[in-house]
Amino acid sequence: MENRVNPEPYQWKDEYTVNIGIIDEQHKKLLDIINELKVIINSNTCKDNVSDIFFQLAYLIDHYFIKEEIYFKDLEYPNSDQHKEEHKQFIERIIQFQKDLESNKPNLCLEIYNYLEYWFDEHILKYDKEAVDYLKSKGVS
């Protein structure tokens, strides 16, 4: 029995917009990755395409997490440590997924998909919004 997810792509919602360019951009990219995973899972082509997913996740981490963290440092965001810890856990989870790929763990794309969905709800709608309020109060846009 193959796994399937709802094929309907997630749409960006106004309520996701935080009006800080670098953060909105990052969140839209993550939603794109989740939507790409939907296609991969439903077409049962995880093995062929998962390396592209890892490539995009690595870009997200290298590019956007770091920029967020630089803002936190420069602007002395008080919850910086907690937020950075969240980023660290995300990175470790992605590394674990890469190991799962090497060991041919089944349903890998579905697991990544579930994790990214969770991350979108938890980190993006919670931690990043909290950080955004602080960054905006310091004039970031």
CA gyration radius, the chain: 16
Closer residue to Fe ion, CB minimum distance, 24 or 100: 24
Shortest Å, Cβ 123 to Fe ion = 6
Of 4 and 138, CB closest to Fe ion: 138
Distance between CA atoms of residues 38 and 5, nearest Å: 6
User: How would you write 24-88 as a 3-class SS string?
Assistant: HHHHHHHHHHHHHHHHHHHCCCHHHHHHHHHHHHHHHHHHHHHHHHHHHHHCCCCCHHHHHHHHH
The structure tokens listed for 105 are 């763990």
CA dist 120 and 105 (Å) reads 24
CB of 37 to Fe ion, least distance (A): 20
Q: Residue count at the site for Fe ion (CB under 5 A)?
A: 2
Provide the minimum distance between the beta carbon of 49 and Fe ion in the complex, in angstroms, as a whole number: 26
Shorter beta-carbon distance to Fe ion: residue 105 or 136: 136
x-or-dash pattern for Fe ion, window 50-79, by CB under 5 A? Answer: ------------------x-----------
* DSSP 3-state of 104: coil
Scanning residues 14 to 43, which ones bind Fe ion (CB under 5 A)? none
Closer to Fe ion at the Cβ: 40 or 90? 90
Nearest distance from C-beta of residue 85 to Fe ion, angstroms: 11
- What backbone phi and psi angles, to 5 degrees, belong to 122? -80, -60
**Which positions lie near Fe ion, rule CB under 5 A?**
68, 128
